[in-house]
Chains A and B, each alone.
Chain A
Amino acid sequence: AQSVTQLDSQVPVFEEAPVELRCNYSSSVSVYLFWYVQYPNQGLQLLLKYLSGSTLVKGINGFEAEFNKSQTSFHLRKPSVHISDTAEYFCAVSKAAGNKLTFGGGTRVLVKP
């Protein structure tokens, strides 16, 4: 079975500063990795995903993530955040060609002016 750990439950950050959200996973098989964002009172929106190929994945809204197989990590980064990036971010994993997502506990990002 897969599991996902998001090491930070909350990350306060000032506007225009960089942010990194950490995600580690465990799995005995090949996996696909995802980052989702949830704005208040909304569902989850896909930011980016890693299926195969280049380990640096670029997503929407200026976010990117890097897959590191040796460290079993998939950290999310943005070089300069906006107030509108205030949201909760979820890392998720599925078996390659599997049919269900397992989520981490989420990281709440609060961007301060």
Chain B
Amino acid sequence: ETGVTQTPRHLVMGMTNKKSLKCEQHLGHNAMYWYKQSAKKPLELMFVYNFKEQTENNSVPSRFSPECPNSSHLFLHLHTLQPEDSALYLCASRHDEAGYTFGSGTRLTVV
């Protein structure tokens, strides 16, 4: 257990479904991130939140909608996804240069 908890661990959804991924950390970190890990591609940064404010959107399609209600929780709302969105979605948190702590990820399959 790293201190960053992601739920669910696995998710299968249809292209017309709406679902949400959840990330929670109680490490006192003030920055949180969503990364996408696809097969045979480098990890891609999706969103960055600092002190609950979104500071970066890395040209992510609008079918992915992040939400950060407080500094401990981060959500990724999903709707009308495509099969190519199937991937491992990783959440991370950070406090200064202490390093980034990653969760175990949500394995998403879009059918």
Contact = CB atoms under 8 A, between A and B. Distances in A.
Interface of A: 4, 32, 34, 36, 41-46, 49, 51, 90, 97, 99-106
Interface in B88-108: 90, 92, 94, 97, 99-105, 107
Contacts of B45: 100-102
Contacts of B69: none
A90 B90 CA distance: 14
A41 B103 CA distance: 11
Interface residue SS majority, chain B = strand
Nearest to A52: B97
A90 B101 CA distance: 14
B21 interface: no
B97 A51 contact: yes
B90 A44 contact: yes
Interface residues of B, number: 25
9 contacts: A43-B6, A43-B103, A44-B92, A44-B102, A99-B31, A100-B33, A101-B33, A103-B43, A106-B42
Interface stretch (B48-56, B59-67, B73-81): B48-56
5 smallest CB-CB distances across A and B, nearest first, come from: A43-B102, A103-B43, A44-B102, A43-B104, A105-B42
B102 A32 contact: no
B90 to A, nearest CB: 6
A61 to B, nearest CB: 15
A94 to B, nearest CB: 9
Contacts of A32: 97
Contacts of A46: 99-101
